[in-house]
Chain A
């Protein structure tokens, strides 16, 4: 029943069921992630299997309330057994959960293989689901025929939304500070039980339609993405639902279209959704403006460029101090040799300094402008004050202080300089006997250039 041709009816309903499933899961998922209990969703979605199997064995059909009840009971058993093991046997909570859910899942598999080995319920469907088959199982609501799975899952979405909206502040306080909640009489244990119940019902409803892998992914991934991006709970819930929706839509598109492009048949939507969700998380971790990998790399690179420019300025100042005129080639060459940088990078930084009016080239030699001299002087002052301070106040051998000062000079502002000077006893020269330049820090706009705080 896998189509490569688009069918508005089938593909429309597949996406709708997938979306309802994803949104239903992400609502309790947000709170599980916040309480660092994401694994519990994983455990529940596997541990309900024996309940489902027994329900199925008793009634012989997949679509019934007894099976549903069996699953809920199995979920409850999981939670209680895990807590009991954790307390009585003093097993770590994660380990207790691992023991309980794998045992129950194995029991479920045995029951299914032994007793109910049929097309309708096999371990394969349990794991990977049969999202593509859901539009075949229709029930009529008034004049329209709607997939049964959609009705169930949409019902769960509404119920979850209702519970969370009504008890929003209770869920928030129970997740954030259960001790305070308890001391205020707000029954965090009750809220925890409610969350477990919500997770169990959602898991069972979703799992029946789409299998356990996607349930686990949808419980955890959209919520984790949203948590990385948003600083308030309402926003996190909203964004997680959006991510869930997007995962369903793109998951199905990818499942149908992508393999087709490379000459393969389409793949199951559930698997594609879980993959899309995983990629989404990778993208968020990389591109997150709040401390994402790319943002950190960018900040580091910007800092690297700034220190290189500042080193060039300070080098020009020192060469002027010695009275030796210098060419741009010399400047770059010396810094490249000392810091082991690429010539292209130093040349780029030098051009930038000239463009910003800190250095000018006259008759083939480089000179500091007055603004450039001021900034460079501040840097050299920072450097030599640090050397003096490290040698005097911190008691480090004078021949070891240069390297540290090289780094510290780039993050030293005017206030730190004043304090350094005070603590080092207002020295006139650094430990190597070179004079520490005085800089007029008052009212210079350029002085700010290296006073910006650096990001990590």
Chain B
């Protein structure tokens, strides 16, 4: 697919086949089109050309299989709404138009909040949350969707240790149950730890495949255009995992 803003392509000829049951890290420099890829996949941004299929069907037909976790800054955290209410929003489509939020919905919301360790915050206004708690609220909202494929836009950005841990646990859970996650990620050092597949993106696909094969200094160089500090970080991380000779 190709996506453009004001006729300037930000994603060019991206052709991917994500194997089910994999955890895919999407890395690339700022402006590489990472968020755009995710948004275009679920029709939030129009595509110039190309198509996206989920198990062979369009997104409109497979909505229920896909859970989207937007960037934390994408919403107004001063909005008068409680944590539980935000989590229950993940189930609005299943409730259907005109229907009120039911007790069962709330119970599922509470269960999801428990999984991310936010039970006691359920009835607080979201304005009172820390950055990490906000991110976990979004995770809980994705959890209640019980999707097959999760698309997460920088869930690890500026979060505390507890939140990082609960995201990792969630990712493991997704993988262990044979489900898939695409995660926009910034910290190159942790890529080999978290993801079994990696997509190196810079307007076009630089490389995509199993992390051990694709996450190489050469590919990173091509992605980041020779930003040495980042590469040094990354090769150090790689050497720890023995995939570079």
Residues in chain A within 8 A of chain B (CB atoms): 34, 36, 166-170, 172-173, 175-177, 179-186, 227, 230-233, 235-236
Contact assessment for B80 and A235 in the assembled complex, using a CB-CB cutoff below 8 Å: yes
Partner of A183 from the list B63, B100, B101, B127 (CB cut-off 8 Å) is: B63
* Residue contact A232 to B42, C-beta cutoff 8 Å: no
Interface flags for B171-183 (1: CB within 8 Å of A; 0: not) read 0000000000000
Q: Establish whether residues B81 and A176, one from each chain, have CB atoms under 8 Å apart when the complex forms.
A: yes
CB–CB B81/A179 < 8 A: no
One of B82-90, B106-114, B202-210, B236-244 contacting the partner:
B82-90
18 contacting pairs across A/B (C-beta < 8 A):
A167-B98, A169-B95, A172-B85, A173-B89, A176-B76, A176-B79, A177-B75, A179-B44, A179-B68, A180-B70, A183-B42, A184-B63, A184-B90, A184-B92, A184-B93, A185-B93, A186-B93, A232-B125
Bound: A263/B90 CA distance, A: 61
A173-B89, A232-B125 known; A183-B44 Cβ under 8 A: yes
> Are A176's CB and B75's CB within 8 A?
yes
Q: Are B85 and A232 in contact (CB under 8 A)?
A: yes
Tell me the bound Cα distance from A201 to B42 in angstroms: 34
Chain A positions within 8 Å of B93 at CB level: 184-186
How far apart are the CA atoms of A116 and B95 in the complex, in Å?
A: 52
Interface of B is mostly: mixed
CA distance A175 to B79 in the complex (A): 9
Q: How long is the Cα–Cα vector from A176 to B75 in the complex, in angstroms?
A: 6
Chain A residues within an 8 Å CB radius of B70: 177, 179-180
Contact with A along B58-72 (1 / 0, CB 8 A): 001001001010100
Q: How many B residues are at the interface, by size bracket?
A: 20 to 34
Q: Is B43 at the interface (CB under 8 A from chain A)?
A: yes
The reply to whether B80 and A232 contact each other, CB–CB distance below 8 Å, is: yes
Interface members, chain B 122-151 (any A CB < 8 Å): 125, 127, 141
Considering the chains assembled together, what is the distance between the CA atoms of A431 and B63 in angstroms?
A: 65
What residues on A are CB-neighbors of B80 within 8 Å?
A: 34, 227, 230-233, 235-236
Q: How far is the CA of A206 from the CA of B95 in the complex (A)?
A: 35
How far apart are the CA atoms of A170 and B92 in the complex, in Å? Answer: 8
**Which A residues lie within 8 Å of B97 (CB)?**
167, 170
Report the Cα distance A158→B81, complex, angstroms: 25
Q: Which residues of B contact A179 (CB under 8 A)?
A: 39, 44, 68, 70, 74
For B81, list chain A residues within 8 Å (CB). 172, 176, 232-233
Whether A185 and B44, one on each chain, are in contact in the complex, defined by CB atoms closer than 8 angstroms, is no
Shortest CB distance B108–A (Å): 15
Q: Which of A36, A180, A231 contacts B68 (CB under 8 A)?
A: A180
B interface list, Cβ under 8 A from A: 39, 42-44, 60, 63, 66, 68, 70, 74-76, 79-82, 85-86, 89-90, 92-93, 95, 97-101, 125, 127, 141
Given the known interface contacts A34-B80, A176-B81, A236-B80, the answer about A166 and B98 at a Cβ–Cβ threshold of 8 Å is yes
CA separation between A231 and B83, bound complex, in Å? 11
Give the CA-CA distance A173 to B89 in the complex, in Å: 7
Decide if B74 touches A169 in the complex (CB within 8 Å). Answer: no
Q: A176–B60 contact, CB under 8 A?
A: no
Known contacts: A168-B100, A232-B80, A235-B80. The answer to whether A185 contacts B60 by CB under 8 A is yes
Known contacts A183-B42, A183-B66, A183-B68; is-contact A176 B86 (Cβ 8 Å):
yes
Known: A231-B125, A231-B127; 6 extra A-B contacts, CB below 8 A, are A169-B100, A172-B89, A179-B74, A184-B92, A185-B63, A231-B82
CA distance A230 to B79 in the complex (A): 10
Closest chain B CB from A112 CB (angstroms): 39
Residue from B42, B74, B92 in contact with A186 in the complex, judged by beta carbons closer than 8 Å: B92
Do B79 and A34 touch across chains, with their CB atoms under 8 A apart? yes
Point out which of A34, A180, A233 has the most chain B C-beta atoms below 10 A from its C-beta. Answer: A180
Q: What chain B residues lie within 8 Å of A36 (beta carbons)?
A: 76
| Chain A, Cβ-Cβ closest to B60 | A185
Give the distance in Å from the alpha carbon of A87 to the alpha carbon of B140 in the complex.
Answer: 35
Residues of B within 8 A of A233 (CB): 80-81
Report the bound CA distance from A177 to B134 in whole Å.
14
A180 to B39 alpha-carbon distance, docked (Å) = 11
A166 CA to B79 CA in the complex, in Å? 21
Chain B residue numbers with a CB within 8 Å of A168 are: 100
Separation of A179 and B44 alpha carbons in the complex (Å): 7
Most chain B beta-carbon neighbours within 10 Å: one of A177, A183, A235: A183
| Given known A-B contacts A183-B63, A184-B63, A169 and B92 have beta carbons under 8 A apart | yes
Minimum distance in angstroms from A296 CB to a CB of chain B: 16
Q: How far, in Å, is A181 (CB) from chain B's closest CB?
A: 8
* A383 to B75 alpha-carbon distance, docked (Å): 42
Least CB distance, A174 to chain B, in whole angstroms: 10
What B residues does A182 contact at CB under 8 A? Answer: 43-44
Question: Which B residues are in CB contact (< 8 Å) with A169?
Answer: 89, 92, 95, 99-101
Q: A186: which B residues are within 8 A, CB to CB? A: 92-93
- CA gap between A181 and B127 in the complex, in Å: 20
B89:A177 contact, CB within 8 angstroms: yes
**Chain A residues with CB below 8 A from B127, complex form:** 231
Distance of A90 from chain B, by nearest CB (Å): 8
Nearest chain A residue, comparing its CB with the CB of B68: A183
Chain B residue, CB-CB nearest to A173: B89
Write the nearest CB–CB distance from B88 to chain A, whole angstroms.
8
Q: How far is the CA of A34 from the CA of B81 in the complex (A)?
A: 11
Which residue of chain B has its CB nearest to the CB of A233? B80
Task: Please name all residues of chain A whose beta carbon is closer than 8 Å to the beta carbon of B63 when the two chains form the complex.
Answer: 183-185
Is the pair B125, A176 in contact by a Cβ cutoff of 8 Å? no
| Closest Cβ neighbor of B93 among chain A residues | A184
Q: Are A180 and B89 in contact (CB under 8 A)?
A: yes
